[in-house]
Amino acid sequence: MALSSSIACPLSLPLSCSNTTTVEDLCCFEYPGGTVLQTQFWDYDPATGPSDKWTVHGLWPDNCDGTYEQYCDKSMEVSNVSAIIQAHDSALLAEMQTYWKDYQGDDESLWEHEFNKHGTCYSTLKPTCGNLGENNENVYQYFRIAMNLYSKLPTYDWLAEAGIVPTNDKTYTKDEIISALKSKSGAEPYIGCNSDNAIDEVWYFYHLQGSLLGEDFVAIDTLTSSKSCSSTGIKYVPKSSNTVTPASPSSTGYVKLTGQNGCLIKNGKWYVSGTCATYTLTQLSTGSYTLKSKAGWCTIDSKTLHCGSDVSSPFEFEFDIDSQILVANGGTQFSAANVPTGTEQVEVTQGEGAVNFELQWNSWDC
């Protein structure tokens, strides 16, 4: 198989996230996404993939502090992942069709989403690195490397060896699940649970030596706290049993700013003297959330929140179900330059500023 041997990276370069001076060659040093995550799903309702396998979610380049960038390079986006993989390696495509599953049955759309949202953020996969721009070599390498790392992380088997198997008859503790996985993978992973306290995600974290193509991963502990799972009573639901009703994928409500008066109006700005705009919060099959007002989709453009008919692809938030707080690129901090007075509309910006708050979802659903 033709590997991209045209990229030979000096071993003298520091490990990702460990440099003390500027590294010039970002084809050989992953930046800013120096933390690589191999993420997996346990989809049981509807069930996807073999009943004794966790399935692939993606291969993500997160920042060194656990926040992340998304949709980094429009020019790298693709809409023909299956065709690209087929052209390079049909056995890899067959493996993906078995283990990299979309819970709504549209695998190609999940693959495109993962590459376009996360794959385009790898500095070491840029088309300008070596021959990665030829024949979508970088797209092929992204999926090959994701599958290869996944094959070394057999979550189902590791849990089963510790007596942790899917069942409707008992529950498990967070400690026993995490320590079983840590003892095999070499570092503490993140585990995620749904609103029913049933485990449905695991994320393994790495730093990287050289280009992603070298696959020289060093396991590190999770940068994200596994707080969506409670410490005891965690369910591990067999894929055969469709016992759980999925949470409503879409909810209507309004967005408040914690500790502040007023709320968001339909263009995404902060207003204190009128009624709150109605927003729809929708969960995608990948677990991310989109936000939409009567004006249109919401996005975060140059750090500023904006909703309108000009937005063609919505920003993908995460959502903390317990606190009902919106999370953007791994962070919850938003700010404004000042508190609005009278009928003033004030921009809401990602990150810290003069007036700081989080965005709190208030559902109108019963």
Ligand X SMILES: *[C@@H]1O[C@H](CO)[C@@H](O)[C@H](O)[C@H]1NC(C)=O
Interface positions with ligand X (CB under 6 A): 19-23, 31, 80, 83-84, 87, 136
| Closer Cβ to ligand X, 87 or 354, answer by number | 87
Shortest distance in whole angstroms from residue 85 CB to ligand X: 9
SS (H, E, C) the chain: CCCCCCCCCCCCCCCCCCCCCCCCCCCCCCCCCCEEEEEEECCECCECCCCCCCEEEEEEEECCCCCECCCCCHHHCCCCHHHHHHHHCHHHHHHHHHHCCCCCCCHHHHHHHHHHHCHHHCHHHCCCCCCCCHHHHHHHHHHHHHHHHHHCCCHHHHHHHCCCCCEEEEEECHHHHHHHHHHHHCCCCEEEECCCCEEEEEEEEEEECCCHHHCCEEEECCCCCCCCCCCCCEEECCCCCCCCCCCCCEEEEEEEECCCCCEECCCCCEECCCCCCCEEEEECCCCCEEEEECCEEEEEECCEEEECCCCCCCCCEEEECCCCEEEECCECCEEECCCCCCCCCECCEECCCCEEECEEEEECCC
| Closer Cβ to ligand X, 17 or 265, answer by number | 17
- CA torsion sign for 142, 147, 149, 150 is positive
| Closer Cβ to ligand X, 92 or 339, answer by number | 92
Shortest distance in whole angstroms from residue 5 CB to ligand X: 22
In DSSP terms, 219 is beta-bridged to: 206
Contacts of 50 (CB under 8 A, 6+ apart): 98, 99
- CA torsion sign for 118, 119, 120, 126 is positive
Residue positions annotated with a catalytic role:
57, 114, 118
| Closer Cβ to ligand X, 84 or 178, answer by number | 84
The first and second tokens of residue 186, run together, are 């070499």
Shortest distance in whole angstroms from residue 135 CB to ligand X: 7
The first and second tokens of residue 61, run together, are 């380049």
| Closer Cβ to ligand X, 23 or 311, answer by number | 23
Shortest distance in whole angstroms from residue 26 CB to ligand X: 6
Residue type, 152: K
| Closer Cβ to ligand X, 10 or 163, answer by number | 10
- d(Cα 124, Cα 238) in Å, to the nearest integer? 39
Shortest distance in whole angstroms from residue 306 CB to ligand X: 28
Shortest distance in whole angstroms from residue 141 CB to ligand X: 14
| Closer Cβ to ligand X, 31 or 217, answer by number | 31
Shortest distance in whole angstroms from residue 334 CB to ligand X: 25
